[in-house]
Amino acid sequence: METGRLDNMLPGRRYGTLWRILVCALLLVALALLTAATQDSERFSRLYSVILGINAAALGGLVVATGISLYRLFRARSEDRPGSRVAVRLAGFLVLLAVVPVLVVYLFSMHFLRTGIDSWFDVQVEESLAEALELTRVSLSHYQSPLKEALTGALGRRLAGEHLDAEALEAIRLESGAVSVTRSSLAGRQSTAGALPEGVPPPTPERLAELQAGEAWTSTEPVADGLVVRVLVGLDGGDAAEAFFAIPSEVAERAENVQAAYTRHGELTFLQGALRESFTLTLSLVLLVSLMFAVWLALYLAQRLTAPVRDLEEGTRAVAEGEYGTQLPTGPKDELGGLVASFNEMSRNIARTRESAKRSQAMVEHQRARLETVLERLSSGVITLDAGGGLRSANAAAEAILQIPLRGHMEATLVELQELNQRLAPFWDRMAECRTGDTEWREQMVITGADGNERNLAVSGAQLPGISGPGGHVVVFDDITDLLLAQREAAWGEVARRLAHEIRNPLTPIQLAAERLRHKLHGALEGGNQELLERSTDIIVQQVEIMKSMVNAFAEYARAPRMERSSVDIAGLLEEAAELYRHNVPGVAFQLSIEEPLPVLCGDADRLRRLLHNLLRNASDACTGAGGGTVTVSARPVGRPDRRLVEIAVRDDGPGFDASVLPQAFEPYVTTKPKGTGLGLPIVKKIAEEHDGSIEARNSATGAEVVLRLPGRSNPMEGVA
Amino acid sequence: MRAILRFTLTLIAVLAAAAPAAAFEIQRAELVHGSDDRWRLSAAIDYELPPRVRKALDSGIPLTVSIRVEVHQPRWWWWWDEELFAVERDMELRYQPLSRRYRLDNGERQRYFFSTDSMLWAMGRVEGITVAEGVDPNALAGAEVRLRTRLEIDKLPPPLQTSALISADWRIGSNWYVWRLAD
């Protein structure tokens, strides 16, 4: 990541500084060598060309390095990289600061160099040196004449016809005080007494030829260890005697010094032009090398100094682009370094804050998802409204209970929702009222379902806590229609049980009393009274029978029976029931259609039989009341493979249900039949519910229709066993 | 700045023309195996100095002339020949104004001359420079000997080295004189 890249740059920078210091040291050494060589130092003069070459190479290298640095700097500038403006300006200042003084020093040095070198070559100095040399020569020649006389004297005393043999030469050498005495001819040196100084050329033939007998010629000759005086004296027959005399060392040394000074000056005079050129060259080279080095260093320093600025700018950009937590390499412990440290801390803090914000957001999301899941699985409808009365959320149960697609209308206000569906207008009205009222409320209300049936809702609402002030409303509601129904049924069951109990007890005595009365008074009364008795007791017995059956029916309804479950062939039951009615009810036709295969039911066969009887009797009664008709019974399998149902529909073409009765068709004592107990359908419903089934009554086009759905057993094999 | 330009040009020139202008000429040369088991060089060389160099010598600037002898055994199977040995001998030429003599110093002994020409002539008679000692003559059989003599620019005073780099006057030397020893 970004942080890593910046961190990696650190060691590079440190080594960069190190190796620049090294280069600087090397350059200084090279320049020092060059200066030493230029100044005719013995040790370096031999390496002059090499050192010059090294310096030239260094210069070339510096030019290349500077060029690269410059190119980088200007490329960064043209690409408008972070910190490049500051770097360019800083580099400009530094270069200016380096170049100007160096140039000034260079110009002055150049001037001094020229005038300085010229001042060495004073004409007077040259002349006096020449004079000094001449003076030395003269003084040496003065020194030579006594030696000449000594030699000629010694020779003269020996020359009287004597052959100049080795002995004679040695004698002459000792007498004259010479170092060596040699007899030379045109053919060369013949014989020598003493040690002949090395390297001195023999006298030239011309010299020998010129030399007359007895004539002497002297000269000063250089030898390896100083100077000697040579005296040539002509002998008879063209030969010559050559003698060398030592010169006192103090004279010789001084003469040597004069000669050295003269030579040195002569050398310098000859080198005047070359010296100036080579000094100029050296100076220029030194200048250029220093200058290029300064420029190179200036560029480097500019980049180095602006590095924190560049890093800061890059880091700021990175943070602005969302890369929180970007860390910059920490620089030196100065103000810029402090700034970088502060930036790093700020960046870290931002990253941390963002991280925790993210975490809490994720937690909120998580909570929300959980809440939503819980709400979705809730059987109660939950609706939330925002502070402005707009719909914020609604769960599946809310949609199911209200039977409208609420979730397609998020943000809709209550008024809009009201317009959407007039059926629920009272509901929304009530909600709007309550919303503006108490913070917490609870009540029961009645709405109209999509099928037109009334539904009872238990609604409660509460204000939600907001960030400031009220923050909307939550409304929770349950469909308690079924609950109310069940309550009512339970109440009826209780009534029926008590009624049956209270009424059944006196019925038998009443019946027995009436029968006894008839029996006792039979024949005791005459005429009309007898008839009255007979009729009255008949009525009593008959009515008591009716009441008994009624009471039994009540008892039946109220009894909490035990189910005797087994596999039931519902098709067989249907056929049996239809067969019974088909023959016993005149004027009514029974049609049975069964769509095979019907799932096997698990239930109580007696009760199911009774259920069918009740349904068929109701239908046939309806038809009989209308003066005949047709009852259609159809059975077919419905439902999913894992939950199979049998749907049994019983239709008649009678008058149908009375509209006022229909909603309470399955409640006890609701009947339109003159002789009905009003318990037929309630019992049907009860049996259906005992079998986990459902029942529904409605009016079809021709008459009444009751649809019964019973679940098949989950595993058919179980029933067989 | 002009100096720099000249310097640069000279560098190029030096690199381009490494061989010096031939002002010295080797007439004859041979290696003689002496009875004392020493190999000695004997040669006749014509030395001549340009006026500018003569003037420098007369002004008191010492000159160094080197003689280099290399003995190679040719190798047909390799790019370079095997160098058996190489000897370089320096001679210093110097003018002594007091006695008006020219001094020739070959490192072992000094000789003095009245004139430049006599000195150069004496320089050209190379006799008895010991090149090798105790080397088996069989090892040298068929060897290639190369001889070269030249003015040593490195040993000139530094200021002159700069101009010597620039001027051809100072690049004086002979070509390689090559011969083979008898098998």
- pLDDT tens figures, A77-133: 888 887 788 888 888 888 898 889 889 989 998 888 888 877 777 778 888 888 999
A180 has a pLDDT exceeding 60: yes
pTM: 0.49
Which residue, among A231, A194, A200, A229, has the nearest Cα to A216 in the 3D structure? A231
Q: Does A227 touch chain B (CB under 8 A)?
A: yes
Please judge whether B157 and A45 are an interchain contact, meaning their C-beta atoms are less than 8 angstroms apart. yes
Average pLDDT over residues A679-685: 81
Question: What confidence score (pLDDT) does residue A281 get?
Answer: 81
Q: Which of residues 261-300 of A touch B (CB under 8 A)?
A: 262-264, 266-267, 269-271, 273-275, 277-281, 284-285, 288
CA distance B151 to B23: 10
- Angstroms from B149 CA to nearest CA on chain A: 18
Mean pLDDT over B30-59 rounds to 88
Locate A301 and state its tokens. 């320093």
Q: Which residue of B has its CA nearest to A60?
A: B8
- pLDDT score recorded for residue B14: 52
Do A53 and B165 lie within an 8 Å CB cutoff? no
Question: Read out DSSP for A361-400?
Answer: HHHHHHHHHHHHHHHHH-SSEEEEE-TTSBEEEE-HHHHH
Q: Which of B103, B154, B163 lies nearest to residue A46, judging by beta carbons? A: B154
Distances (CA, A) of A599 to A590, A594, A606, A692, A696: 23, 12, 18, 15, 20
Judged against a pLDDT cut of 70, whether residue A2 lies above it is answered with no
DSSP string computed for A629-697: EEEEEEEEEEEETTEEEEEEEEEE-S----TTTGGGTTSTT---STT--S-HHHHHHHHHHHTT-EEEE
More confident position, B115 or A465: B115
Residues 94-133, chain A: which have Cβ within 8 Å of B? 133
Q: Does A254 touch chain B (CB under 8 A)?
A: no
Chain A residues touching residue B157 (CB < 8 angstroms): 40, 45, 267, 271
Cβ-nearest to B157 among A199, A224, A271: A271
Could you state, in order of their start, the residue ranges of all structural domains in chain A?
Answer: 2-120+266-320, 139-247, 378-478, 485-558, 566-720
Look at chain B and report how many structural domains it folds into.
1
Shortest distance between the Cα of B97 and any Cα of chain A, in A, equals 7
Q: How far is A82 from chain B (nearest CA, A)?
A: 39
B18 pLDDT above the threshold of 60? no
| Residue contact B159–A38, C-beta within 8 A | yes
Query: What's the average model confidence in pLDDT over B57-67?
Result: 91
> B39 falls in which pLDDT band (50, 70, 90)?
confident
pLDDT at A65 over 80: yes
In angstroms, how far is the first alpha carbon of chain B from the final one? 58
Q: CB of A178 within 8 A of CB of B91?
A: no
Give the chain B residue nearest A286 (alpha carbons).
B4
Percent over 90 (pLDDT), chain B: 24
Say whether A566-720 and A378-478 share the same fold.
no
Would you list which residues of chain B are within 8 Å, Cβ to Cβ, of chain A? 1, 3-4, 7-8, 11, 55-56, 59-61, 95-99, 101, 103, 109-114, 118, 153-155, 157-163, 165
Type of residue numbered A209: A
Chain B contact probe: residue of A277, A284, A287, A291 with most B CBs at under 10 A: A277
CA dist A172 and A179 (Å) reads 11
The alpha carbon of residue A269 is apart from the nearest alpha carbon of chain B, in Å, by: 8
Helix axis angle for A680-690 and A481-521, nearest 10°, is 130
The band of A548, judged by pLDDT with boundaries at 50, 70 and 90, is confident
- On whether the CB atoms of residues B72 and B82 are closer than 8 A, the answer is yes
Residues of A in contact with B113 (CB under 8 A): 201
Residues of A in contact with B165 (CB under 8 A): 49
Q: What angle do CA A189, A193, A198 make, to 5 degrees?
A: 60
User: Residue B129 — φ and ψ, nearest 5°?
Assistant: -80, 120
Residues in Cβ contact with A552 at an 8 Å cutoff, skipping those fewer than 6 apart: A500
Helix (H) or strand (E) holding A552: helix A527-558
Give the range among A12-21, A45-54, A501-510, A596-605 with minimum mean pLDDT: A12-21
What does DSSP say about strands B172-173 and B82-96: parallel, antiparallel, or unpaired? unpaired
Q: Does A204 touch chain B (CB under 8 A)?
A: yes
State the average pLDDT over residues A186-209.
81
For chain A, give the mean pLDDT: 81
What pLDDT, on a 0 to 100 scale, did the predictor assign at position B13?
54
Q: Are A76 and A84 in contact (CB under 8 A)?
A: yes
**For the segment A329-376, what is each residue's pLDDT rounded down to a tens digit?**
776 777 878 888 888 888 889 889 989 999 999 999 999 899 888 888
Regarding predicted confidence, which is higher, A702 or B65?
B65
Question: What is the CATH number that goes with domain A378-478?
Answer: 3.30.450.20
- Is A569's Cβ below 8 Å from some Cβ in B? no
Query: What was the pLDDT predicted at A6?
Result: 41
On whether the CB atoms of residues A437 and A451 are closer than 8 A, the answer is no
Out of B112, B114, B163, the one facing A204 most closely (by C-beta) is: B114
Residues of chain A found within 8 Å of residue B153, distances taken between Cβ atoms: 49
Write down the pLDDT at residue B138.
81
The whole-number pLDDT of residue A452 equals 76
> Over the stretch A520-536, which tens digit does the pLDDT of each residue have?
887 777 778 888 888 88
Measured between beta carbons, which residues in chain B are less than 8 angstroms from residue A39? 158
Closest to A476 in 3D by CA, of A397, A544, A541: A397
Number of H helices, E strands in chain A: 18, 17
Strand A588-594 and strand A629-640: the pairing is parallel
pLDDT of B19 higher than 70: no
Nearest to B97 among A133, A201, A281 (CB): A133
Strands (E), A569-628: 588-594, 601-603
pLDDT higher for A357 or A597? A357
Taking an 8 Å cut-off on Cβ atoms, the answer to whether A136 and B96 are in contact is: no
Nearest-neighbour CA in chain B from A259: distance (Å): 6
Give chain B positions within 8 Å (CB) of A274. 159-160, 162-163
Residue A83 backbone phi and psi in degrees, to 5: 80, 0
Compare all CA atoms of chain A with the CA of B153 and give the residue at the minimum distance: A46
Q: Is the peptide bond before A405 cis (omega within 30 degrees of 0)?
A: no
Residue to mutate among A34, A228, A281, A291, with most B CBs inside 10 A, is A281
Please tell me which of the candidates A45, A53, A270 has its beta carbon nearest to residue B56: A270
Report chain A's terminal Cα–Cα distance, integer Å.
Answer: 72
Residues on chain A touching B59 (C-beta within 8 angstroms): 266-267, 269-270
For residue B139, give how far its alpha carbon lies from the nearest alpha carbon of chain A (Å).
Answer: 35
pLDDT band at B117 (very low <50, low <70, confident <90, very high): very high
| CA atoms of A291 and A95, how far apart (whole Å) | 9
How far is B48 from A280, CA to CA, in rounded Å?
32
CA distance A106 to chain B (A): 12
Residue A721: is its pLDDT beyond 80?
Answer: no
- Residue A211 and residue A206: Cα distance in Å, rounded? 9
Distance from CA of A312 to the nearest CA of B (A): 44
Angle (nearest 5°) at CA A393 between A387 and A395? 145
Q: What is the pLDDT of residues B158-179, one digit of tens each?
A: 778 877 777 778 888 898 999 9
pLDDT at A463: 82
Beta-strand ranges (E) seen in A519-641 are 566-568, 588-594, 601-603, 629-640
The Cα–Cα gap between A382 and A392 comes to 11
Q: Does A142 have pLDDT greater than 90?
A: no
Binary contact (B154, A56; C-beta < 8 A): no
Question: Beta A180-185 vs A240-246: how paired, if at all?
Answer: antiparallel
Q: How far apart are CA A410 and CA A385, in angstroms?
A: 10
* Per-residue pLDDT at A562: 66
- The verdict on domain A139-247 having CATH code 3.30.450 is yes
8 Å CB contact of A263 and B60: yes
Nearest to B112 among A221, A267, A270 (CB): A221
A207 has pLDDT over 90: no
Cβ-defined contact of B110 to A224 (cutoff 8 Å): yes
CA max distance for chain A:
242
The 10s digit of each residue's pLDDT in A13-52 is 556 778 778 888 888 887 787 777 666 555 666 677 777 7
Question: What is the pLDDT, as a whole number, of residue A716?
Answer: 47
> Which of A56-65, A389-398, B40-49 is predicted least confidently?
A389-398
Give the residue-averaged pLDDT of A207-213.
80
Q: Could you give the CA distance from residue A157 to residue A165 in angstroms, rounded to a whole number?
A: 15
- Closest by Cβ to A201, choosing from B11, B95, B114: B114
pLDDT over 80 (residue A627): no
Is B112 in contact with A199 (Cβ distance < 8 A)?
yes
Which residue type sits at A553?
A
Chain A residues lying within 8 Å of B95, measured CB to CB? 263
A288 contact residues in B (CB cutoff 8 A): 4
- Under CATH, to which class is A566-720 assigned? alpha beta
pLDDT digits (tens, 9 = 90+) for A239-259: 888 888 888 888 888 888 898
- Contact call for B155 and A46, based on CB within 8 A: yes
Domain boundaries, position B72: 2-180
Nearest to B158 among A201, A227, A278 (CB): A278
d(CA A30, CA A673): 133
Higher pLDDT, A231 or A36: A231
Chain B contact present for A220, CB below 8 A: yes
Distances, alpha carbon A587 to alpha carbons A441, A592, A598, in Å: 59, 16, 30
A426-485 residue pLDDT tens: 888 877 777 776 678 888 888 888 777 788 888 888 888 777 766 788 888 888 888 888
Residue A256: its chain B contacts at CB < 8 A? 98
